[in-house]
Structure 1
Amino acid sequence: MTSSQDSAGRWSDLDRPPLNASALRNALVLPGGLWTSLDVVETTGSTNSDLAARVGELPEGAVLVAEEQTSGRGRLDRTWTAPARSGLFVSVLLKPAAPVHRWGWLPLLTGVAAATGLAKAAGVDLSLKWPNDLLVNVAGEERKTGGILAERAGGDGVVVGLGLNVTLRADELPVPAAGSLLLADAVSTDRDTLLRAVLRSLEQWYGDWVRADGDPAASGLLDAYTKSCATLGRRVRADLPGERMLEGEAVAVDGDGRLVVETEGGGTEAVAAGDIVHLRAA
């Protein structure tokens, strides 16, 4: 893990200036607030892994941001890589005072918070693909611009990571289905502004959820997620554990955060974990 202060040539791409760690701390680490520390490193393998390794020594609200991740991970152990300073690669440590059986809502909550904050700061409409992808519209096509990974850490902690493509250009996209805020015609791609917006939004949504004892309906989270979820109303294929496959229409997200799929025979099945493929446009 290399500090951003030690990097040579940190202005090598003038379109991608480094984050201002001290200004971010001054804006976000406030008395009585959720965020208790904020560190920016130049490069690391995985911000999630780094925070998880320190869960015993850090209080809730620790934030770790990397200018570049060399071993970033998504769901199903997929890799997440991007050029240095082209995106936001951030992990936060949460220790929820809410029932453990409701912790599965944290990646969905983070998606709602990110979409809400970025809509204001970037001027881009983002939608959510269940359970943890952020989508933008690029030239009429739905593209993935971000992903979320939540992992248990220690007995009482959850590390939630967000990877977001901000200034990736078309020739830098890892796969054709990827996108970025730049390609979605964002009004701002200033990463300091975007990170502040995301973390402030996450603090608000998380606070409401904890105060509601993790109840997604009472906190307004279920309604907000349903309205932002691009998966609902679509025909989907769910690739499930054990090499099982399920096809049908995604009709709801239930109180446990599971995707409810209506099958051909008229029955329904709640999917708790799996890879979801959108089969047709909404």
Structure 2
Amino acid sequence: MTPSDAPHSHWSDLERPPLNVPALRRGLLRPGGLWTSLDVVETTGSTNSDLAARAASGLAEGTVLVAEEQTAGRGRLDRTWTAPARSGLFFSVFLEPGDIPVARWGWLPLLTGVAVATGLARAAGVDTALKWPNDLLVTVAGEERKAGGILAERAGDGVVVGTGLNVTLRAAELPAPTAGSLALAGAVSTDRETLLRAVLRSLEHWYGRWREADGDAAASGLQEAYAAGCATLGRPVRAELPGDRTLTGEAVAIDGDGRLVLSTDEGLREPLSAGDIVHLRGAGGELT
């Protein structure tokens, strides 16, 4: 695994050129800014795993690692995330919010979701919705599809937050019928450098607001922004919980700890801090 600082001359898909690393560094690394280094590797197993390993021996906050291709990308519940080389954005960042109470660090994947969605709205012209806790949804041919996901993991004295996003994936390349991409959702731009700059600038903005508010999601506006963009709220869902427990109800709120609050058929309100959420069509029909 070696960083690449110059365009490759051997890519096979001319519609998927490699990232221009010097241009990305010029646009994102600045004195006093959050991002302190940015490397792009041609291929790796998982950018999250790579940064987590480096964090064990000390890593500067604001380190960004991008892969043109991931061969062992991971999502929640140890699910795999793979896609053709240069067809998406696969990157991880190292954040070290040491002065923020650890109990509030659970907001970081939700914060990243808000940042990605707002960055893509500006740069790609695509309405990206958030499925609690960490999926990125787009609309393809009138259907809700998963185009990306976020995974946050404790590492060293901080957190590694990884994002995988399908950008130019074609219909024949989709890993599942429920998957989508920005291109299939009608993005006005699928230039990965433009998108990555927009997403990382948005992440810097939201992370700064959250830190200034001492990690208070309500005071920073994060809780309101997440709820506004969350496709899970206001609909019937099935929550598949640890211990083979299943709960069905209406998703009614995101609480101050970032938990999804369900209103159950028994009239109870139950906050969920973990679980696999299935959106339902009503009358028990599964959607995603």
TM-score of the alignment, normalized to the shorter chain, above 0.5: yes
2:238 match: 237
Q: Distance in 2 between matches of 1:109 and 1:6?
A: 32
Matches for 1:67-216 after TM superposition, within 5 Å: 67-96=68-97, 97-154=99-156, 156-216=157-217
Are the equivalent residues in 2 in contact too, given 1:165–1:180 (CA < 8 A)?
yes
Q: 3-state SS of the aligned residue for 1:44?
A: coil
Q: 3-state SS of the aligned residue for 2:18?
A: coil
TM-superposed CA distance for 1:7, in Å, is 8.8
Q: Distance in 1 between matches of 2:7 and 2:131?
A: 36
Cα offsets for 1:121-163 (capped at 9, x unmatched): 0000010000000000000000000100000001x21000000
Q: Distance in 1 between matches of 2:10 and 2:190?
A: 18
TM-superposed CA distance for 1:6, in Å, is 8.6
Structure 1's consecutive aligned runs of 4 or more residues displaced over 2 angstroms after TM superposition are: 2-11
Q: Distance in 2 between matches of 1:132 and 1:50?
A: 21
Query: Which amino acid counterpart does residue 20 of structure 1 have in structure 2?
Result: N
2:21 match: 21
Q: 3-state SS of the aligned residue for 1:164?
A: strand
Unaligned runs of 5+ in 1: none
Query: Which amino acid counterpart does residue 26 of structure 1 have in structure 2?
Result: R
Q: 3-state SS of the aligned residue for 2:281?
A: coil
Query: Which amino acid counterpart does residue 153 of structure 1 have in structure 2?
Result: A
Q: Alignment length, in residue pairs?
A: 281
- TM-score after normalising by structure 1: 0.97
Q: 3-state SS of the aligned residue for 1:69?
A: coil
Q: Distance in 2 between matches of 1:112 and 1:37?
A: 23
TM-superposed CA distance for 1:9, in Å, is 5.0
Paired-residue identity, %: 77
TM-superposed CA distance for 1:10, in Å, is 3.7
- TM-score after normalising by structure 2: 0.95
Unaligned runs of 5+ in 2: none
Q: Distance in 2 between matches of 1:75 and 1:61?
A: 23
Cα offsets for 1:24-64 (capped at 9, x unmatched): 01110100000000000000000000001111332100000
2:44 match: 44
Q: Distance in 1 between matches of 2:238 and 2:45?
A: 32
TM-superposed CA distance for 1:280, in Å, is 1.6
Q: Distance in 1 between matches of 2:10 and 2:43?
A: 11
Query: Which amino acid counterpart does residue 44 of structure 2 have in structure 1?
Result: T
